[in-house]
Homo-oligomer: A and B are copies of this chain.
């Protein structure tokens, strides 16, 4: 289609809810089969924080787990838990055959490194891909769990039929839980990937030539119209609580009509991420019992 008409262009919403619903439905069926066989899938979320939004997120996971038939325990160690206490809790959970999935919720008490503790999670139970060994396995194409948010980005692009091979991707953000694993997963899918971050000299130059822009920075409305080429596909991983409610890292109003497609916030990457955590837990239980 060439742009000879004078109609304003519109931006397609890359919604995540139908995809999430499909993933949850599949998880629910497999969870029911496992429960019928006497092994209901079980997920444990370890928390060591009093951060309100983290605890809200954990409750939403527990509720979503219950809805698909996964037993979900929250093991709250409190905001002053020591490194040794968290480590020993993870080791106990590794050894417990009734536990199939383990999530170590961030933030942790000050001074504790999430990756430094996540190395303790058995990769077979590491349903949010937090252990650096899981990251390496995902780079190597070996079986293992990718961080759910990173996998959600790729699943969402696939679901909406966005071609990846040979396309230029700008990944804005380099965290271990999103930016880095998204880059590794998209490289495996034959995209050409540029990882940008807060020290990138001219962010606009990097993003405005890309076919696909994925943003995970935690900076509300960082990406505007002049960061994008016309028709770019934009995935917004940001979920920032502001006075105006939940908002993404992309200024959705500003990029309307410039971006060819954009994931909404909320309703884009988020629901797919939660659904994948449940799906991973069921898969871990399947393997453990199979």
Contact = CB atoms under 8 A, between A and B. Distances in A.
Interface of A: 113, 115-116, 119, 131-137, 139-142, 165-168, 174, 176, 180, 183-184, 187, 190, 192-197, 199-201, 206
A174 B187 contact: yes
Nearest to A143: B116
Contacts of A132: 133, 136-137, 139-140, 142
Contacts of A119: 137, 142
Contacts of A193: 194-195
Majority secondary structure of chain A interface residues (helix, strand, loop or mixed): mixed
A233 to B, nearest CB: 16
A251 B197 CA distance: 32
Nearest to A118: B140
Tell me the number of copies of this protein. Answer: 2
A135 B142 contact: no
Nearest to A209: B205
A192 B192 contact: no
Given A131-B136, A140-B132, A140-B176, A195 B187 contact: yes
Given A116-B140, A192-B197, A194-B194, 4 more contacts: A134-B136, A183-B183, A193-B194, A194-B195
Given A136-B135, A137-B132, A184 B180 contact: yes
A137 to B, nearest CB: 5
Contacts of A166: 199-201
Contacts of A200: 166, 192
A142 B116 contact: yes
A204 to B, nearest CB: 12
Shortest Cβ-Cβ A-B pairs, 5 listed: A132-B136, A136-B136, A133-B133, A115-B140, A135-B136
Contacts of A196: 192
30 contacts: A115-B140, A115-B141, A115-B142, A116-B140, A119-B137, A132-B137, A132-B140, A132-B142, A133-B133, A133-B136, A134-B136, A135-B135, A135-B136, A135-B139, A136-B136, A136-B137, A136-B139, A165-B199, A166-B199, A166-B201, A167-B201, A180-B184, A187-B197, A190-B197, A190-B199, A192-B196, A192-B201, A193-B194, A193-B195, A194-B195
